[in-house]
Amino acid sequence: MKKPVFTGAGCAIVTPFKGINNAEVDFDKLGELIEMQIAGHTDAIVICGTTGESSTMPDAEHLSVIEYAVNKVAGRIPVVAGTGSNDTLHGINLSREAVRRGADALLQVTPYYNKATQKGLIKHYNAIAAAVDVPIILYNVPSRTGVNIAPDTLRELSKIPNINGIKECNLAQVTEVHCKCGDELNIWSGEDGQVSMMLGAGAQGVISVVSNVYPQIMHDMVMKYKSGDVRGSWALQAKTLGLVKALFCEVNPIPVKEALNLKGYNVGGCRLPLCEMEDKNRKLLADAIIEFEAKL
């Protein structure tokens, strides 16, 4: 059995920006967000993932954000660093540097655009895993990458000692993956609207976008289920459904950054090609926040 990197809700944290065209990382604000997450009982910080806009960061900036997060968290909860790439050598180099800067684990998205075969995925992840000595969480998100990691492929990858688990966005696949891999591959939900369902299929928790704004809610949703209060977990899931829909009414992380700004956190905007939210969707989001908070 592989001990999970964390159990509960890990926050796929945004990267706050400042300056003209959001050109600079606002490290002071990032520190505030990390402290807010820890106060809200988030179980891990997932830094420089999709929500953190790592695809717009040069390597030096990317690594500086990881290093800052590691130092700010200071061992209180795990820091999982996104270091995935569609270039295996680049992924190896980025992963090694993230580990050198103190990352507790790595999040590795499926290679995108060049669309590897299943055999290629096995070779890619073998190479990454051999290059580092920390746990690796795979990230399967076919809607963004164009490639699905098949359950049989995951069964092979689960044999690699430091491949710890997978962030899975395909509910239909989770049960099959759990049956094929058992305790050799931990599962985290990659969909905030399906957390309780994923937990029922054997997941350890969620890597969450909603946690950016409501960390305690997502932590409680998982922990209620894990402690046997399944009804309580489902009740929280039901309360969040309208909010989740609003937070994904445009491409992530546009809405969640807007939600944080509406809540007064002033995290800046997204870097191009992502742009400001449409006015009608901003109103939809603001209304969803008011409606959600009225239920609490």
167 an active-site residue? yes
Q: Distance (Å, rounded) from C-alpha 137 to C-alpha 140?
A: 10
Is pLDDT at 1 greater than 90 in this prediction? Answer: no
Spatial contact of 156 and 175, defined as CB atoms under 8 Å apart: no
Residues in the chain: 296
The pLDDT tens digits of the residues spanning 213-266 come to: 999 999 999 999 999 999 999 999 999 999 999 999 999 999 999 999 999 999
Q: Does pTM surpass 0.95?
A: yes
159 an active-site residue? no
Domains annotated on the chain, with CATH = 8-229 (3.20.20.70)
């270091």: which residue's tokens?
83
Strand-pair partners of 168: 140, 189
Active-site position among 29, 72, 167, 257: 167
pLDDT band at 211 (very low <50, low <70, confident <90, very high): very high
The pLDDT tens digits of the residues spanning 149-182 come to: 999 999 999 999 999 999 998 888 999 999 999 9
Is pLDDT at 267 greater than 90 in this prediction? Answer: yes
Active-site position among 72, 125, 139, 265: 139
Residue 170 is predicted with a pLDDT of 84
Spatial contact of 246 and 285, defined as CB atoms under 8 Å apart: yes
